[in-house]
């Protein structure tokens, strides 16, 4: 069995299936609420960093003018199918931003620039956990700050806090349709401040001769919340931890660009 990063790469076609349980519509409604509280109105420009297959944007586009990027072109290809709006396509009458095209591009969170700053920047589903060590997180925070206008809003959904991570816990995710059956198992491991997740996949596709098996390793930083807050503060944000976030126990870093 080989180690690779298949779920975001050559196995990106399994991503939406294995996360079919995730309530992206509810997440979007909560993000809309938090952005409104932060003074970001409907019709604002919003950038999603590490947007993956674009499921948050699918629901956020009713309110905002969106753009998004990811490191993985395989993930972006699925986002492009979901968000077929081309740049410059006119919005529909009624809701500001509704139906407008979503600009998608390939970039690295730790090293990107925008032509024009946006009103809000989102980084969700713990994508920030892939950014380590600390100097890379600082580089990402500086890029996020440069991408936002003064007074703009930042929402980052962190990875699990070190005190909440359970070492040695088994996890199982499945997906079951006529065409595709997926099973993904892992026993969570901890090495210092890093979580090591070796996902063991089995995939049965209609018409295939054999069940496909592969293993992929994800190494994420169990960054203490105080470290994350101070990194974003140092990069030019006033930040707080919002405990009532999207996923249970993860909370959100909510910041305003000074």
Ligand X SMILES: C[S@@+](CC[C@H](N)C(=O)[O-])C[C@H]1O[C@@H](n2cnc3c(N)ncnc32)[C@H](O)[C@@H]1O
Q: Which stretches of the chain bind ligand X, using CB under 6 A? A: 8, 50-52, 55-56, 70-72, 75, 108-110, 124-125, 127, 130
**Minimum CB separation from ligand X for residue 109, in Å?**
4
Tokens of 62: 């009713």
| CB-nearer residue toward ligand X: 32 or 204 | 32
| CB-nearer residue toward ligand X: 96 or 165 | 165
**Minimum CB separation from ligand X for residue 182, in Å?**
16
**Minimum CB separation from ligand X for residue 252, in Å?**
13
Instruction: Encode 72-127 in three state secondary structure.
Output: CHHHHHHHHHHCCCCCCCCCCCCCCCCCCCCEEEECECCECCCCCCEEEEEECCCH
CB 43 within 8 A of CB 65: yes
CB 89 within 8 A of CB 101: yes
| CB-nearer residue toward ligand X: 7 or 40 | 7
**Minimum CB separation from ligand X for residue 8, in Å?**
4
**Minimum CB separation from ligand X for residue 132, in Å?**
10
CA gap 144, 187 in Å, rounded: 33
**Minimum CB separation from ligand X for residue 125, in Å?**
3
| CB-nearer residue toward ligand X: 52 or 236 | 52
| CB-nearer residue toward ligand X: 56 or 61 | 56
Nearest residue to ligand X, scored by beta-carbon proximity: 52
| CB-nearer residue toward ligand X: 71 or 239 | 71
């Amino acid at each position: 069995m080989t180690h690779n990063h298949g779920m975001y790469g050559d196995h990106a076609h399994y991503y939406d299936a294995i996360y079919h349980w995730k309530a992206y519509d509810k997440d979007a409604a909560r993000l809309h609420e938090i952005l409104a509280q932060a003074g970001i109105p409907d019709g604002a420009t919003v950038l999603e960093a590490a947007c993956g297959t674009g499921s948050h944007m699918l629901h956020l586009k009713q309110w905002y003018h969106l753009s998004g990027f990811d490191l993985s072109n395989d993930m972006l290809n699925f986002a492009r199918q979901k968000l077929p709006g081309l740049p410059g396509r006119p919005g529909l009458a009624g809701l500001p931003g509704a139906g407008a095209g979503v600009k998608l591009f390939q970039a690295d969170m730790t090293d990107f620039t925008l032509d024009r700053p946006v009103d809000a920047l989102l980084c969700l589903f713990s994508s920030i956990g892939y950014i380590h060590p600390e100097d890379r997180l600082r580089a990402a925070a500086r890029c996020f700050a440069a991408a936002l206008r003064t007074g703009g809003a930042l929402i980052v959904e962190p990875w699990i806090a070190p005190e909440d991570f359970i070492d040695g816990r088994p996890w199982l995710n499945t997906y079951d349709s006529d065409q595709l059956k997926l099973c993904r198992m892992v026993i969570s491991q901890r090495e210092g401040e890093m979580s090591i997740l070796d996902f063991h996949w089995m995939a049965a596709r209609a018409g295939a001769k054999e069940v496909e098996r592969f293993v992929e390793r994800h190494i994420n930083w169990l960054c203490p919340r105080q470290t994350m807050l101070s990194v974003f503060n140092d990069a030019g944000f006033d930040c707080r931890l919002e405990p009532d976030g999207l996923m249970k126990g993860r909370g959100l870093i909510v910041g305003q660009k000074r």
